[in-house]
A and B are shown apart, each in its own frame.
Chain A
Amino acid sequence: MSAAETTTAKVPPTRRDPQPGAGSKEPGKPGKKRGTGGGAAVPWALLAPCLLVLALVLGYPLVRLVTLSFQKFGQPQLWGFQAAESVGLDNFTNVLGDAEFWRVVVRTILFAASAVVLTMVIGMLVALLLQRVSGWVKTLINVALVASWGMPIVVAITIFKWMFDSDYGVLNWLLSQLPGVDVTGHNWFISSTQGLAVIMVLVVWGAVPFVVITLSAGLTQVPKELEEAARLDGAGSWGVFRHVTLPILKPIVVMLATLSVIWDMGVFPQVFVMRGGHPEPEYQLLTTYSYDKAFVVNDYSQGSAIALLTVLLLLGVIAVYMRQMLKIGDVE
């Protein structure tokens, strides 16, 4: 930053003083003479505070996460009674050799995949529906979507807990009104399949609005002429969607799907709060499992190993997303 400040003499100092250095890059030769060094100094000076903060709040913990997962670190090490010692790959072999871990991995992937597919399909259907309804219905739907989107997650969880309450939950009552159905007093959380399904409904309910609103914005950019031309050529609604609309929306769809994968793999408070802070073994997802290992069993290093494996699992997905984002970043 200080390097850039030396070039700012002619402008009144503001909080954004590093920028003026850029002025010297464009108009005059003198700036050019400082060449790549001077030109590159400005953006880096602008970036410096951000990178510094990120290095502190993210970089350090990330490094610590990696080192922890190669150490033995429990209660005694936390209190400083014992030094943390390196144990090589022990934590990983322990985790990977545990059948429980693999059950959690499979459960997490199934959960996230179903939630993402549901979110994307419902989101796309609602976005397409929004194009066909009257203005006032559109407004109503938008209000409901934005209200559920803006709901704090913890509040949403609380509401769902209440709606699915076994004795006084409105859902049991509503379902029991259907002919032939009686679920009065039914506890949805006795079976983890049903319980996780409820949690998935909650996740999807919270995630659909973002998808709908983003896709709707995208749909307005699909040229009407293209769709009409396809229709004239004899394409049905599905054909138009499949061959005209979807390809144009593809970048958005990829972005939304990847974001959804990341979010749904990271589901934590939904399970944690729904199960009153102590998820049963059949409810554990990778996130809660890692948390449990670290803070319930007080084995911070195994918890870190699991967290690290989760991050690695996500990296594949992120790679796809990253390419998409870079493409977007380039078109400016």
Chain B
Amino acid sequence: MAASTAVAPVATRGKSPRRKTKLGWNLLGLLVFVTAGFPVYWMLNTAFKPAKDAIDPNPHLFPTHFTLDNFRRALQIGDFWGAIGRSLTVSVVVVVIGIAVGLLAALAISRFAFRGRKIVIVGILAVQMVPLVAMIIPVFLLLNDLGQYDKLSGLIITYLTFILPFTVWTLRGFIVNVPKELEEAAMVDGCTRTGAFIRVVFPLLAPGMVATSVYGFIQAWNEYLYALMLMSQNHQTATVWLSSFTTQHGTEYAPMMAGSTMMAVPIVILFLLVQRKMAAGLTAGAVKG
């Protein structure tokens, strides 16, 4: 980069000030990149370095030795695979229920004009705003009464509180983006309304539904508070498992970062795959309005 600044003024006199500003912006951009990415980098860096290097008062910014020992250690702590299995079960079931029920509701509020529609929309949005923490006490008592405390089914029920409103709202965004005219055209050609939906809208909606499912899955997977409160030590989920590295004897940071890596990397990859689509769905109509 230093070279290009040196060359630029000589080669093209007229363009040099613009190039210089571009270079300035780029340097600033790189600073943003480093700042935003550093925590992630530091997790990976610690995860792959020998545990004794992690507690060196002069940390190495770049890895010198590469080891998988921390991952081995992380897998021994707590019930890793059990926790992963429980997280997977809960997240998948919640998403399946959420999508099945949410799609119907999203259709209703995006394709039908009916009395009470606004109230329903406001209601669905409002419940999305209630902080989970505010609900924890009554939810705890409810599950206690129903005998669902410390059960995966109980956790699934509680996760629906935040997955369902979210699913309805995002699916609505995706449905709205499918032009009504397509459906109407199919109906003119003799399709019933259901037929038009299944043959025309549904295929166009599929990517949005996949994105919503993945996003919902990630949200359920990442939930911490309910998982902590409603499940005992023996039935903890992946997020709560992550705290097993801290004991009275201190925290094993290097294996903890290995554990974090195992938890985060698959999620981040999933997230990378769908985030563009999600941003589109979440903001559907926000700008044009």
Does chain A have a CB within 8 A of B267?
yes
The digit string for A134-159, where 1 denotes a CB below 8 A from any CB of B, is 10011011011111111111111011
Query: Are A140's CB and B29's CB within 8 A?
Result: yes
Across-interface contacts of A290 in B (CB, < 8 A): 133-134, 137
Query: Are A307's CB and B133's CB within 8 A?
Result: yes
Chain B: how many interface residues by the 8 Å CB criterion? 110
Across-interface contacts of A224 in B (CB, < 8 A): none
The CA-CA distance from A195 to B133 in the complex, in Å, is: 22
Query: Are A304's CB and B242's CB within 8 A?
Result: no
A4 smallest CB distance to B (angstroms)? 11
The CA-CA distance from A159 to B129 in the complex, in Å, is: 28
Residue of B nearest to A22 (CB): B193
The CA-CA distance from A10 to B193 in the complex, in Å, is: 12
Given contacts A57-B157, A144-B37, A217-B283, contact A154 B222 (CB under 8 A): yes
Does chain A have a CB within 8 A of B32?
yes
Given contacts A65-B138, A152-B264, contact A144 B192 (CB under 8 A): no
> Which stretch, A95-103, A206-214, A238-246, touches the partner chain B?
A206-214
Query: Are A163's CB and B107's CB within 8 A?
Result: no
Given contacts A134-B22, A221-B287, A300-B137, contact A60 B142 (CB under 8 A): yes
Given contacts A140-B30, A147-B268, A150-B271, contact A170 B42 (CB under 8 A): yes
Q: List 19 A-B contacts (CB under 8 A).
A: A14-B194, A14-B198, A53-B160, A58-B127, A64-B138, A132-B22, A132-B25, A141-B29, A146-B271, A146-B272, A152-B267, A154-B263, A155-B263, A277-B243, A322-B126, A329-B109, A329-B121, A329-B172, A329-B285
Does chain B have a CB within 8 A of A255?
yes
What are the 6 tightest A-B residue pairs by CB atom distance, in nearest-first order?
A150-B271, A144-B37, A50-B105, A266-B131, A64-B138, A307-B134
Across-interface contacts of B116 in A (CB, < 8 A): 44
> A-side binding surface: helix, strand, loop or mixed?
helix
> Which stretch, A86-94, A227-235, A310-318, touches the partner chain B?
A310-318
Residue of A nearest to B191 (CB): A23
Does chain B have a CB within 8 A of A167?
yes
Does chain B have a CB within 8 A of A225?
no
> B-side binding surface: helix, strand, loop or mixed?
helix
Does chain B have a CB within 8 A of A175?
no
The CA-CA distance from A14 to B100 in the complex, in Å, is: 12
Does chain B have a CB within 8 A of A187?
no
Chain A: how many interface residues by the 8 Å CB criterion? 119
Across-interface contacts of A29 in B (CB, < 8 A): none
Query: Are A328's CB and B289's CB within 8 A?
Result: yes
Across-interface contacts of B136 in A (CB, < 8 A): 291, 294, 307
The CA-CA distance from A64 to B107 in the complex, in Å, is: 31
Given contacts A61-B138, A141-B36, A214-B279, contact A19 B197 (CB under 8 A): yes
Interface centre among B114, B137, B246 (most CB of A within 10 A): B137
**From A150, A158, A321, contact of B272 by CB (8 A):** A150
